[in-house]
Amino acid sequence: MSAHTENLQFSREDVDFEIPRGLPEKLGEELRKLEQLFTVDTATLKKITDRFGEELDEGLRKHGSNVPMNITWVTSFPTGHEAGTYLTLDLGGTNLRVCLITLTGTPGGSEITQEKYQLPREIKTGTADELFDHIADRLGNFVTKHVKGDGAKQNDGMVPLGFTFSYPATQERIDHGVLQTWTKGWDVKGVEGNDVGKMLREAMEKRGLPVKLVTLINDTTGALIASAYNDPETIVGAIFGTGCNAAYMERQSLIPKLHGKSPSSNGTTATSGTGREEKGDALMAINCEYGAFDNSHSILPRTRYDELIDQQSPRPGEQTFEKMSAGLYLGEIFRQILVDLHARGVIFQDSKLDDKQKEMLNTAYAIDTEFLSNLENDASPSLSSSLHAFESTVAGLQPTPAELIFFQSLAKLIAIRGARLCACGVSAICRRIGTRTGHVAADGSVAIKHPRFKERWEDTVREILDMKMGTKAAVSGGGGLEGIKLTSAEDGSGVGAAVVTALTLGRAGR
């Protein structure tokens, strides 16, 4: 350890960001500049949330809006008494998950058998046939292994399937979805503008699978419905993972673009019985797809690193909000900063990088968000865990002790900004539906695995909505303490798809 770093200290008080004491002058100066770049103050958060509200409203009024506010044809909250056995498929950003789920007909009751398959990297940039053949093959293997006898089959001899498709899709009915645009770095040819439900059906029919696609939902809708199956205080389903998004129940009278269409004419079953409708107004789950918020670049405080990520992505100019706040991109923001600082002679000067280390450092997405989370929360002596992480990730690279503390602070800055930005979308939804209390059911790697995300997110929502802890809610008839809480919907995509399938088939335990 060099003499000028032996007394370095880092405060792990997470209320506010602090510059670690004792950093070398050059690193301290760079960190102060980065703090200015990545700090989003309260006034800016409120302006972002105001603009969010405008884009949500525009998406409900007309098709083709920046934030599409997709109609899902899920027209009720669950009662908790839905029953039956269902297959579910969950196509996420990195994995394909297949489940056999039995809903027991008792509130929150479910039994799950599942398999998770990592998607080959080439699938994400291949063709539609390759993707859906791959999905159907995995589904077929699962059915052969886990579906025994006729207990899961319906009268037509088919097992009902709920497909969680975690990408923006326009739906004309509950078992249909036309992909609007790929997100999360995907670029599969021949899918955009086409019905993914039809593509899946054709791939299953080719293999003679005894499976019938009943519902197609987004993962946010799944998180909303799965959590509501267990927790009646659920108001929003959200994804804070590879991507970012949210779903909530809107009154149908407040969806102008829905006028002239009815759920009954689109093959859905509008059963409720939960008493959660507003003054007799029917409900509709809305999949916001707000990762595309501010594609006009009018309000979000983008840095040059955000701009580089956008320029180098498969879809420049799209998913602006997602690229600043979602898990896929946080590690890449960190890497872009390292590349810049190294080019300017700020870091990695004591140990000259060899060609392999330079190649790794210049490889897009070589550093992921889990790396950042571990770095920020490293409490080991002299940050030895982080040193080992750098060595294994960047071909033996050994940052100095001062650089490690600098990097830990940088990881914290990026994570804080991400959590604060993520709070804006849900805050805008809460304003829209007029609530200051309730649970936001969150799925996704960032929400589940980052130990500081929940606290930062909740604090920021209170900040935006001017809440004070312990005060009585002023809306929804009063009663209860004010506050929007983040709850876990870790299995929202599986159980949620099964519950929506049961709702669609009108199946409830008696």
Signed CA dihedral, 356, 362, 365, 370: sign only: positive
Mean pLDDT of 318-338: 95
Q: What is the pLDDT of residues 140-152, one digit of tens each?
A: 999 999 998 766 7
For tokens 């969150």, the residue is 442
| Ranges 108-112, 297-301, 303-307, 470-474: which has the least confidence | 470-474
Residue 72 phi, psi dihedral angles, 5° rounding: -105, -20
Contacts of 115 (CB under 8 A, 6+ apart): 97, 98, 138, 142, 145, 146
Q: Which of residues 347 and 81 earns the better pLDDT score?
A: 347
What is the reported pLDDT for 155? 65
What is the reported pLDDT for 492? 72
What is the pLDDT confidence band of residue 234, given thresholds at 50, 70 and 90? very high
What is the reported pLDDT for 324? 96
Residue 242 phi, psi dihedral angles, 5° rounding: -55, -40
What is the pLDDT confidence band of residue 33, given thresholds at 50, 70 and 90? very high
The angle formed by the CA atoms of residues 115, 120 and 124, to the nearest 5 degrees, is 115
Dihedral-angle region of residue 430 (phi above 0 means left; psi in -120 to 50 means alpha; beta otherwise): alpha
For residue 279, give the nearest of 248, 247, 252, 261 by alpha carbon.
Answer: 252
For residue 406, give the nearest of 323, 350, 334, 358 by alpha carbon.
Answer: 334
The angle formed by the CA atoms of residues 237, 284 and 278, to the nearest 5 degrees, is 95
Q: Does the pTM exceed 0.85?
A: no
Tell me if 408 sits within 8 A of 10, measured CB to CB: yes
- Burial class from Cβ neighbours inside 10 Å (0-12, 13-18, 19+) for residue 153 reads middle
pLDDT value at 75 more than 70: yes
| Ranges 28-37, 180-189, 199-208, 264-273: which has the least confidence | 264-273
pLDDT value at 16 more than 70: no
CA distance 319 to 67: 10
3-state helix, strand, coil in the chain (%, to 5): 45, 20, 40
- Of all residues in the chain, the percent with pLDDT exceeding 90 is 72
pLDDT value at 420 more than 90: yes
Mean pLDDT of 400-410: 96
What is the reported pLDDT for 476? 40
What is the reported pLDDT for 351? 73
The chain-wide mean pLDDT, for the chain, equals 88
Token reading at 251: 């009154």
What is the reported pLDDT for 3? 36
Mean pLDDT of 34-43: 96
* 3-class state of residue 149 by DSSP: coil
CA distance 258 to 244: 25
CA distance 245 to 238: 6
Mean pLDDT of 76-80: 89
For residue 382, give the nearest of 357, 366, 349, 404 by alpha carbon.
Answer: 404
* 3-class state of residue 278 by DSSP: strand
CA distance 315 to 435: 35
What is the reported pLDDT for 13? 36
CA distance 276 to 404: 51
What is the reported pLDDT for 276? 55
Token reading at 65: 């809006």
Tell me the range of 27-31, 108-112, 378-382, 478-482 where mean pLDDT is highest.
27-31
Q: Which of residues 376 and 266 earns the better pLDDT score?
A: 376
What is the reported pLDDT for 472? 43
- Of all residues in the chain, the percent with pLDDT exceeding 70 is 88
What is the pLDDT confidence band of residue 477, given thresholds at 50, 70 and 90? very low
Mean pLDDT of 254-265: 72
pLDDT value at 264 more than 60: no
Count other C-beta atoms under 10 Å from residue 133's C-beta: 17
For residue 167, give the nearest of 196, 134, 127, 139 by alpha carbon.
Answer: 196
- The full set of domains in the chain, from first to last, is 1-71+289-443+445-489 (3.40.367.20), 73-229+491-505 (3.30.420.40)
CA distance 183 to 190: 15
Residue type, 197: G
What is the pLDDT confidence band of residue 363, given thresholds at 50, 70 and 90? very high
pLDDT value at 277 more than 80: no
What is the reported pLDDT for 11? 33
404 sits in which H/E element: helix 401-433
Contacts of 23 (CB under 8 A, 6+ apart): 8, 31, 402, 405, 406
CA distance 76 to 252: 11
CA distance 246 to 425: 8
